[in-house]
């Protein structure tokens, strides 16, 4: 929603200011300049990035239309799921959760929280480390180091998308200049003609510079920043998950494990202790 609203505000403000200063709106419509700028930027984007990053960039950009999925509800679902798993393992033994972690899609415990398990990265992270915990062959320090290694790799891969978009943003003003220079070349070929024709060519060339700068700072650059913020939201979510798992490995009760996770939540989403306790009681 912010992407759509922000884009409307950016372009609406620019166009409104131009029209109110008695500018001719039709003069801004230069499709050939758009082809040069957008086509060259897209081509450079393809050259600079592997296909995996290109695919993730398009899917990530489309996700900006909606809000972040890491809201208070999914955090509450995660903590409640962790509590249920730890409680079951504590009462019935670690082997009692083996069927749940081997086939989470058929687990009543996991399926109670579809927002959590529909993300296969989150589901795999939970089940993989629960398998290791059930196996009991790794000490807490080694397990935490393995988690940190996996999360570092995951976040590094996720950062490739906003980095790629930022580089496109950095290049757009340059491609705007390319379009402007080509417009001047056309203008030079019209010297000696009517002044109106020369003026139209110069105006079209300047629109190329305008569009390159406007796209860079008005849409593409902010999109990269928003994707970085989404990556930070994801990193915070995994941190909560890691804290819960490590608290369990270190022998704390399910209630305390969840409290560790609650404390690791972003302050703007964190429920109070009493709210969390009431929520857990309602889902026992």
For the chain, the straight-line distance linking the first and the last C-alpha, in angstroms and rounded, comes to 36
The pLDDT assigned to 153 comes to 93
Question: 169: Cβ–Cβ under 8 A, 6 or more apart, which residues?
Answer: 215, 216, 217, 220, 221, 224
The pLDDT assigned to 284 comes to 64
With vertex at residue 117, the alpha carbon angle to CA 107 and CA 230, rounded to the nearest 5 degrees, is: 170
The pLDDT assigned to 174 comes to 94
In order along its 284 residues, the chain shows pLDDT tens digits of 678 888 899 999 988 898 888 788 888 888 899 999 999 999 999 999 999 999 999 988 888 888 888 999 899 999 999 999 999 888 888 888 888 888 888 888 888 888 888 888 899 999 999 988 887 777 888 889 999 999 999 999 999 999 999 999 999 999 999 999 988 888 887 777 777 777 777 888 888 899 999 999 999 999 999 999 999 999 999 999 999 999 999 889 999 999 999 999 998 899 888 888 887 877 66
Cα–Cα separations (whole angstroms), residue 163 to 57, 168, 220? 10, 9, 11
The pLDDT assigned to 216 comes to 94
Q: What is the pTM of this model?
A: 0.86
pLDDT digit string (tens) for 190-234? 777 777 777 777 888 888 899 999 999 999 999 999 999 999 999
Specify the 3-state DSSP secondary structure of 47.
helix
């Amino acid at each position: 929603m912010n992407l759509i609203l922000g884009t409307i505000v950016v372009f609406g403000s620019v166009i409104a200011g131009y029209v109110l200063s008695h500018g001719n709106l039709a003069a801004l419509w230069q499709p050939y300049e758009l082809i040069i700028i957008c086509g060259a930027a897209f081509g450079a984007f393809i050259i600079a990035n592997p296909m995996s990053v290109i695919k993730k960039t398009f899917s990530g950009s489309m996700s900006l239309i909606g809000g972040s999925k890491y809201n208070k509800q999914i955090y509450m679902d995660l903590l409640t799921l962790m509590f249920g798993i730890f409680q079951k393992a504590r009462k019935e033994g670690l082997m009692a959760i083996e069927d749940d972690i081997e086939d989470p899609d058929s687990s009543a415990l996991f399926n109670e929280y579809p927002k959590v398990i529909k993300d296969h990265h989150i589901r795999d992270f939970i089940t993989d480390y629960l398998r290791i915990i059930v196996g009991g062959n790794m000490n807490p320090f080694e397990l935490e180091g393995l988690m940190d290694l996996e999360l570092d790799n995951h976040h590094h891969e996720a950062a490739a998308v906003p980095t790629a978009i930022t580089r496109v943003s950095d290049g757009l003003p340059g491609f705007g200049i390319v379009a402007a220079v080509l417009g001047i070349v056309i203008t030079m070929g019209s010297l000696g003609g009517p002044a109106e024709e020369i003026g139209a060519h110069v105006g079209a060339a300047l629109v190329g510079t305008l569009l390159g700068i406007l796209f860079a700072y008005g849409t593409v650059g902010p999109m990269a920043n928003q994707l970085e913020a989404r990556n930070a939201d994801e990193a915070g979510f995994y941190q909560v998950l890691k804290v819960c798992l490590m608290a369990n490995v270190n022998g704390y009760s399910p209630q305390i494990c969840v409290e560790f996770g609650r404390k690791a939540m972003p302050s703007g989403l964190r429920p109070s202790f009493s709210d969390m306790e009431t929520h857990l009681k309602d889902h026992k």
